[in-house]
Amino acid sequence: MNAHQTLPADDAKPAYNYAYLDEQTKRMIRRALLKAVAVPGYQVPFGSREMPLARGWGTGGIQVTAAIIGPDDTLKVIDQGADDTTNAVSIRRFFERTADARTTEATEEATIIQTRHRIPEAPLKAGQIMVYQVPTPEPLRRLEPREAETRKMHAWAEYGLMQVKLYENIARFGEVTTTYDYPVMVNGRYVMAPSPIPKFDNPKMHMSPALQLFGAGREKRIYALPPHTSVKSLDFDDHPFRIQSWNEPCGLCGATDSYLDEVVTDDKGGRMFVCSDSHHCETRREAGHRGAMLADASALHLVEEVKS
């Protein structure tokens, strides 16, 4: 911790501490993180600070990252699975500026991965830390708007309301219609919001060797999944949890097992499906995988084709 204070970035303004937050605040956040790790899935209130980036734009994740990052870390920031989405760029620049952070787009090189809405396709390793940006930490919020009530429901593990909601979904539509932020049961005790990741990513949380930290800045909550924690998506025996699947592979790299984004290519119904994890897609193309639409996309300079 002291090392952080003595290693300010050369170009950082003298008025700001390493990684922006003052050391007392970082200590407060680390205490909340320790409590969160000790009670997996429990939402720990913390004294969320006003940040120079907008509330609702990742200030929870940014505060968690600022509290844990050090000079030896390598940071990857993704939004919608991609490193180059505008807000991911903005957050990465923030840490390059305030913490002189070493950054990467390679999932396997990163020690800290701050994310909004996705978990990378490449399996995470022990020693890596996922930091999730969380808009609504309370999985019961849409069922019960009052915080005073939802805290009691968690305390008593009273999750019948959630089961009824899932049941009503099945009764009306034949399936659970929640496609993202799909509620999970953590360690058999707390129902937790996995943040708005697609339910496609839920299974990646289960027994992950990486430490997973969740920061909700505006709502002032921190929660965590220690490595190797059971994370079960809520379901029924006769309606087991299912993830999304696509009829076609990624148009650029041909992957059949990744989460795809839909790109509208013209106004005549033209569609292209591409990996949402841009680094995963690039890595596959570098390894020689070619999707059906790669040649078209590269002719339009939408992607740079790898020269081999």
Cite the active site residues.
41, 250, 253, 275, 281
Scan for tokens 């919608």, then name that residue: 80
In the chain, % helix, strand, coil (3-state, to 5) comes to 30, 20, 50
Q: Which of residues 150-179 bind another protein (CB under 8 A)?
A: 173-174, 177, 179
Which one among 97, 218, 289, 290 touches another protein, defined by CB under 8 A? 218
Going by their DSSP bridges, the two strands 184-186 and 129-133 should be labelled as unpaired
Q: Which of residues 223-252 bind another protein (CB under 8 A)?
A: 244, 246, 252
Looking at this protein, which amino acid is placed at residue 167?
Y
Q: How far apart are CA 211 and CA 234, in angstroms?
A: 22
- Check residue 46 for interaction with another protein (CB under 8 A): yes
Closest to another protein by CB, 100 or 261: 261
- Check residue 147 for interaction with another protein (CB under 8 A): yes
Closest to another protein by CB, 33 or 229: 33
Looking at this protein, which amino acid is placed at residue 195?
S
Closest to another protein by CB, 191 or 294: 294
Closest to another protein by CB, 72 or 171: 171
Binding mask 279-308 for another protein (x = CB under 8 A): ------------------x----xxx----
Which one among 73, 235, 248, 261 touches another protein, defined by CB under 8 A? 261
Q: Which of residues 47-86 bind another protein (CB under 8 A)?
A: 47-52, 54-57, 59, 79-82, 84-86
Distances 116 to 4, 24, 83, 303 between C-alpha atoms, Å: 26, 27, 11, 23
Closest to another protein by CB, 6 or 86: 86
86 contact partners, CB below 8 Å, separation of at least 6: 79
- Check residue 274 for interaction with another protein (CB under 8 A): yes
Number of residues that bind another protein (CB under 8 A): 66
Query: Please, what is the minimum distance in Å from the beta carbon of residue 92 to another protein?
Result: 9
- Taking Cα atoms as reference points, which of 206, 190, 224 lies closest to residue 44? 224
Query: Please, what is the minimum distance in Å from the beta carbon of residue 45 to another protein?
Result: 4
Q: How far apart are CA 15 and CA 87, in angstroms?
A: 25
Contact 253, 275 (CB under 8 A): yes
Q: What is 78-91 written as a DSSP string?
A: EETTBSSSHHHHHH
Scan for tokens 């707390």, then name that residue: 190
Closest to another protein by CB, 59 or 283: 59
The secondary structure of residue 217, as a DSSP letter, is: T
Contact 132, 212 (CB under 8 A): yes
Which one among 64, 88, 101, 192 touches another protein, defined by CB under 8 A? 88
Contact 16, 98 (CB under 8 A): yes
Q: Which of residues 188-217 bind another protein (CB under 8 A)?
A: 196-200
185 contact partners, CB below 8 Å, separation of at least 6: 191, 192, 231, 232, 233, 234
Q: Which of residues 90-119 bind another protein (CB under 8 A)?
A: 90, 93, 116-118
Query: Please, what is the minimum distance in Å from the beta carbon of residue 50 to another protein?
Result: 4
Residues that bind another protein (CB under 8 A): 15-16, 20, 22, 45-52, 54-57, 59, 79-82, 84-90, 93, 116-118, 135, 145-148, 173-174, 177, 179-181, 196-200, 218, 220-221, 244, 246, 252, 259-263, 274, 276, 278, 297, 302-304
